[in-house]
């Protein structure tokens, strides 16, 4: 074992440029999430620059490090798709043969009719939408009728929004479980998501009672392999939901990047050995899907400001890996995810720095590296552990 602890931080949707097959994924143009944010205004990312972020490729207003503090590269997505589940599954060594289904025109009428029959309620919506916008648009009608709001997004998701005083939270969860049981075969979306909200018309607010119902990942993925070897895994953010809690020793839910960074620090103070697997979701959820490049840039800068504190907490036996799961370019007309390469930065007090890890053929290389460190293996990926020793 080269490292006692590995901290894997997913900067959700921070892509770094279009993959060659971007046009096959309904992207309206080649996206470059980080590059376009950097182009619009100078980004203040001195700590990521010091690690070697701008050594991966040129970015406007970002300077390559003369002696990078991390080893650096980029990862392609080998699986078809550009969504949360695809990216995270690949990260733990699972490659998809076909993408999860998307519904840019809403779900088929016959599927919605069967869902309504099973839950004993009619539904509203059935369109791709922002969660905040659709409850603003349909929330009052939902409160008056009791009909839950069904919507989707750029992800492979079936989302159900309901007011907690109209449909109690446990009933909302039961409805989601019915949807999960219905959405199989060709309609097997990556996740069914409960999206509860409260408040009055004009001031509806989503609550922290969100709950995801994911497709069970195939056996043998990284968290299974670590559990089999008795390696503890701490999940920060939505990681436990994505993997249905499999292999997770402790799950820490978060509401924001700030809380995610605090929970990472908390975990580093208590875990002696194992994996901390974290997702910082604000980039995607709050800014990418809402075409807010300034908010996206400020979120990047906030994580950069946190980096010195994070690095100071690293122990001699630690390895930190920063990456992403896909892109979500806030500067393009689309609000969808984008098919992009993602960054790869690996650093630690005793990890080799300055190694060009080049373009990795798959995000699965990260999972294979972590597995190899703990004496295990996953179904796909090529380890770069030797480059870091």
The whole-number mean pLDDT for each consecutive block of 10 residues of the chain, a chain of 389 residues, reads 95 97 87 98 97 98 98 97 94 94 94 98 95 94 98 91 97 97 95 96 92 91 97 97 95 95 97 98 92 98 98 98 97 92 98 98 98 98 97
Structure tokens at 17: 């440029």
Instruction: Name the 3-class secondary structure at 195.
Output: strand
The pLDDT value recorded for residue 157 is: 94
Residue 131's pLDDT is 87
The pTM of this model reads: 0.91
Position 88 scores a pLDDT of: 97
Straight-line distance from the first to the last Cα atom of the chain, in angstroms, rounded to the nearest whole number: 10
**How crowded is residue 340: how many other Cβ atoms within 10 Å of its Cβ?**
31
Cβ–Cβ under 8 Å, residues 226 and 247: yes
Residue 47 confidence (pLDDT): 98
Burial 37-71 (b: 16+ CB within 10 A, else e): bbebeebbbebbbbbbbbbbbebeebeebeebbbb
d(CA 385, CA 40): 36
Domain 5-98+216-388 has CATH 3.40.720.10: yes
The pLDDT score that the predictor gives to residue 153 is 86
pLDDT at 134 (0 to 100): 95
Exposed, middle or buried, 24 (CB in 10 Å: 0-12/13-18/19+)?
exposed
DSSP per position, 326-356? SB--TTSS--S-B-B-EEEEEE-TTS--S-E
- In the prediction, which pLDDT does 277 show? 98
Domain ranges of the chain: 5-98+216-388, 109-214
pLDDT at 155: 79
123: CB partners within 8 A, 6+ apart: 112, 115, 116, 147, 148, 149, 150
For residue 208, the model assigns a pLDDT of 83
CATH of 109-214, one of 2.40.50.140, 3.40.50.300, 3.40.50.970, 3.30.70.1250: 3.30.70.1250
Q: How many H helices and E strands in the chain?
A: 14, 14
């Amino acid at each position: 074992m080269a490292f006692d602890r590995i901290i894997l931080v997913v900067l959700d949707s921070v892509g770094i440029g279009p993959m060659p097959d971007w046009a096959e994924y309904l992207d309206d143009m080649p996206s470059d999430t980080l590059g376009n944010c950097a182009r619009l205004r100078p980004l203040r990312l001195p700590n990521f620059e010091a690690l070697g972020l701008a050594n991966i490729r040129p970015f406007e207003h970002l300077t390559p490090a003369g002696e990078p503090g991390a080893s650096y590269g980029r990862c392609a997505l080998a699986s078809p798709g550009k969504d949360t589940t695809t990216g995270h599954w690949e990260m733990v060594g699972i490659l998809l043969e076909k993408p999860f289904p998307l519904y840019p025109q809403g779900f088929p009428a016959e599927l919605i009719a069967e869902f309504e029959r099973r839950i004993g309620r009619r539904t509203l919506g059935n369109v791709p939408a922002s969660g905040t916008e659709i409850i603003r648009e349909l929330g009052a009608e939902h409160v008056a009728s009791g009909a839950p709001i069904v919507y989707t997004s750029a992800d492979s998701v079936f989302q159900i929004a309901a007011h907690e005083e109209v449909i109690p939270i446990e009933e909302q969860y039961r409805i989601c479980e019915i949807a999960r049981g219905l959405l199989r075969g060709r309609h097997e979306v990556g996740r069914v998501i409960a999206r509860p909200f409260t408040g009055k018309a004009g001031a509806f607010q989503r609550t922290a009672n969100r709950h995801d119902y994911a497709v069970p990942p195939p056996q043998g993925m990284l968290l299974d392999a670590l559990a089999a070897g008795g390696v503890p895994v701490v999940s920060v953010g939505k990681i436990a939901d994505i993997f249905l809690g499999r292999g997770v020793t402790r799950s820490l839910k978060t509401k924001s990047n700030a809380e995610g960074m605090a929970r990472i620090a908390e975990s580093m103070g208590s875990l002696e050995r194992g994996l901390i697997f974290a997702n910082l979701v604000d980039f995607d959820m709050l800014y990418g899907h809402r075409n807010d490049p300034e908010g996206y840039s400020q979120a990047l800068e906030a994580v950069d400001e946190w980096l010195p504190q994070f690095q100071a907490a690293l122990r001699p036996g630690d390895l930190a890996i920063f990456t992403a799961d896909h892109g979500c370019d806030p500067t393009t007309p689309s609000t969808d995810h984008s098919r992009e390469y993602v960054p790869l930065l690996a650093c630690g007090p005793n990890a080799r720095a300055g190694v060009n890890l080049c373009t990795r053929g798959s995000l699965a290389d990260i999972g294979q590296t972590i597995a190899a460190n703990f004496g295990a293996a996953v179904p796909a990926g090529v380890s770069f552990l030797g480059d870091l020793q």
